[in-house]
Amino acid sequence: MADALVFNPGSNSLKFEVVRLTDNQRFAGEATKRITAAIEEFGDEATLSVFDPSRPRQLAHSEKVKAPDMKAATDFALRWLKDQKVSADSLAFTAVRVVHGGVKYDGATRVTDEVLHDIEALEELAPLHNESSLQILGVLAQRLPDTPAYVTFDTAFHRTLPEEAWRYPIEREAADRHGIRKFGFHGLSHRFMVEQYARTVGKPLGEVSVVTLHLESGCSASAIVKGRSVDTTMGLTPLEGLMMGSRSGSIDPAIIPYLMHKEKQTVEEVMKLLNKRSGMLGIAGGTLDTRVLEKRDDEAARLALRMFSYRVRLAVGAYLAAVGDAQAVLFGGGIGEDSPWLRAGVCEGLRGWGLELDPALNRSTEGQVVVSTPASRLQAWAMPVEEGLQMAHECQLSIKNAGNS
Ligand SMILES: Nc1ncnc2c1ncn2[C@@H]1O[C@H](COP(=O)(O)OP(=O)(O)O)[C@@H](O)[C@H]1O
Ligand SMILES: CC(=O)OP(=O)(O)O
Ligand SMILES: [Mg+2]
């Protein structure tokens, strides 16, 4: 048995967990969380939320803390963990989620100067994320210098995409000169969902084909055939694909020069608009949080939720076609797990595929649950995603593999 400390910087938060791994675990879901917490809304009054480790997303305690940025939040987390009696010598390793690993990294890796350099080189393609990971790694190198540090990559799971999926239909030479291709992200989450599904239904991973949905501030879908990712909605960067909290997702690319021209803005300003002031925030105004939007009864909030659910539904339809004979649609991430309205809105359009939602089961917002009827040919599941457990599991596998080679 070993404990690992994992950090998951999102576009909107820093989540951190102490994970207890068992010696020969085959699935991430066999590990348990000892501590799980998040710092959100960085600033002098950031929020520290501490969750019940045994119940997904159940808040146990919350307080205001001073954490103006990712570095300060990491510093705070380490001090706070010390108060919780988590000492450096109780940790087998630390792990940090890195969103962009390019084509080079296919799994968890021990941090070296070369790895840090590669993460930095990819910063341009994941500006909301890679820099945050480097900041966390900097604090860990200073504060826990003797604990081995690992990184896990969102892109690793999608390295199995076939060329017709990862190649963009743009001039080949130009794309290849600059490494322009679809990478895909949220791989820890998509991998966790499909493996957890396989584990629960008792099938080998190689016999499982599903569509997975990771829906939080950042959102993506993945088409998975026989346990391997064959397509995913995010692309060269985490801006492509579904409508998100504050990101537009896919739009007509001609909108970018048109807006630059009409609004007399630079490309950086327009990219900021698409990353930070679009998506549900851009349509509803005021917030990107679906829990708040659900409670609002103005037309803008309702439109944002309808647009979001419509776009998720379209992606699921496309990926059911990509998979061909999917067994289930897995709804994960804060919105996927917790929002009956979203699941109903998406499944409404999937009757033709033989998906029958059970309205009573769909009202459940707690834990992993099948929300389709027993007779439904295609199943729908609400599936709590545990990126932290997946990170710790992938690092343990990499340590074992290194020991065996
Ligand atoms: N119970 C829940 N807990 C947390 N987030 C939820 C919940 N239900 C819905 N959500 C949605 O998920 C978003 C939170 O995503 P978060 O985990 O902070 O994303 P990220 O990892 O991209 O920073 C919220 O803005 C909200 O829209
Ligand atoms: C890749 C990505 O968008 O990550 P997150 O949803 O955690 O911001
Ligand atoms: Mg996230």
User: Which residue lies with its CA nearest to atom 6 of ligand 2?
Assistant: 218
Residue 12 pLDDT grade (very low, low, confident, very high; cuts 50, 70, 90): low
Looking at the CA of residue 11, tell me the nearest atom of ligand 1. Answer: 23
Report d(CA 341, CA 292) in Å as an integer. 14
| Amino acid letter for position 209 | S
The residue whose C-alpha atom lies closest to atom 2 belonging to ligand 1 is: 334
Q: Please give the Cα distance from 405 to 376 (Å, whole number).
A: 46
Closest of 31, 38, 50 to residue 8, by C-alpha: 38
pLDDT digits 0-9 by tens, 176-209 = 999 999 999 999 999 999 999 999 999 999 999 9
SS3 91: strand
Handedness of CA 371, 375, 376, 379 (dihedral sign): positive
pLDDT given for residue 13 in this prediction: 86
Cβ-based neighbour number of residue 393 at 10 Å: 28
Which position among 154, 231, 338, 358 bears the catalytic label? 154
For the chain, what are the domain ranges?
A: 2-182, 199-382
| Mean per-residue pLDDT of the chain | 96
Separation in Å, CA 389 to CA 292, 309, 398: 28, 28, 14
Helix/strand/coil for 357:
strand
Contacts 24+ apart (CB under 8 A), 199-207: 199/27, 199/29, 200/368, 201/327
Question: How is residue 179 written in tokens?
Answer: 């490494």
Asked if 155 and 102 count as a contact pair (C-beta separation under 8 A), the reply is: yes
Mutate to test the pocket of ligand 2, among 15, 192, 216, 335 (most ligand atoms within 8 A of CB): 216
Residues 19-49: pLDDT tens digits? 999 998 999 999 999 999 999 999 999 999 9
Which residue's CA is minimally distant from atom 22 of ligand 1? 217
Average pLDDT of the segment spanning 95-104:
96
Ligand nearest to the CA of 189: 3
**Residue 174: CB partners within 8 Å, gap ≥ 6?**
180
Mutate to test the pocket of ligand 1, among 17, 291, 305 (most ligand atoms within 8 A of CB): 291
Cα of 227 vs centre of ligand 3, distance in Å, is: 22
285 neighbors 177 (Cβ within 8 angstroms): no
Pick from 59, 220, 290, 364 the residue to mutate for probing ligand 1's pocket: most ligand atoms within 8 Å of its CB. Answer: 290
- Topology of domain 2-182 in CATH is Nucleotidyltransferase; domain 5 (3.30.420)
Spatial separation of the C-alpha atoms in residues 220 and 10, rounded to whole Å: 14
Q: Ligand 1, atom 6: nearest CA belongs to which residue?
A: 334
Q: Check if 241 has its Cβ closer than 6 Å to any atom of ligand 2.
A: no
Q: Is 51 in the pocket of ligand 2 (CB under 6 A)?
A: no
SS3 5: strand
Q: In the prediction, which pLDDT does 361 show?
A: 96
* 69 to 14, 65, 132, 179: CA distances (angstroms): 10, 12, 9, 31
Q: How far is the CA of 234 from the centre of ligand 2 (A)?
A: 10
Cα 216 to middle of ligand 1, angstroms: 5
Cβ of 228 below 6 Å from ligand 2: no
Q: What is the pLDDT of residues 108-155, one digit of tens each?
A: 999 999 999 999 999 999 877 999 999 999 999 999 999 999 999 999
**Confidence check: pLDDT of 54 > 70:** yes
The reported pLDDT for the residue numbered 56 is: 80
Which numbered atom of ligand 1 lies nearest the CA of 338?
8
**Spatial separation of the C-alpha atoms in residues 128 and 122, rounded to whole Å:** 11
Are the beta carbons of 243 and 290 closer than 8 angstroms? Answer: no
The residue-averaged pLDDT of 46-72 equals 94
Q: How far is the CA of 334 from the centre of ligand 1 (A)?
A: 4
Q: Is 154 a catalytic residue?
A: yes
Share of the chain above pLDDT 70, in %: 99
Atom 19 (ligand 1) nearest CA: 217
CA of 41 to the centre of ligand 1 (A): 12
| Residue nearest (by alpha carbon) to ligand 1 atom 17 | 216
Those residues whose C-beta lies under 8 Å from the C-beta of residue 288, and which sit 6 or more positions away, are 12, 217, 244, 245, 246, 279, 280, 281
Q: How confident is the model at residue 403 (pLDDT cuts 50, 70, 90)?
A: confident
Residues with CB under 6 A from ligand 1: 10-13, 57, 216-218, 245, 288-291, 334-335, 338-339
Write down the pLDDT at residue 366. Answer: 74
Q: Is the CB of 332 under 6 A from ligand 2?
A: no
pLDDT band at 168 (very low <50, low <70, confident <90, very high): very high
CA of 15 to the centre of ligand 3 (A): 9
Which residues make up each annotated binding site for Mg(2+)? 8, 387
Residues in the chain: 405
Residue 163 above 90 pLDDT?
yes
DSSP helix/strand/coil, 189: helix
* Domains 2-182 and 199-382 belong to one CATH topology: yes
Beta strands in 11-156 (DSSP E): 13-21, 32-40, 43-51, 59-67, 91-98, 109-110, 149-153
What CATH homologous superfamily does 199-382 map to?
ATPase, nucleotide binding domain (3.30.420.40)
386 DSSP 8-state letter: -
Q: What is the pLDDT of residues 291-350, one digit of tens each?
A: 999 999 999 999 999 999 999 999 999 999 999 999 999 999 999 999 999 999 999 999
- pLDDT for res 405: 63
Q: 376 CB contacts (<8 Å, ≥6 apart)?
A: 354, 355, 356, 357, 358
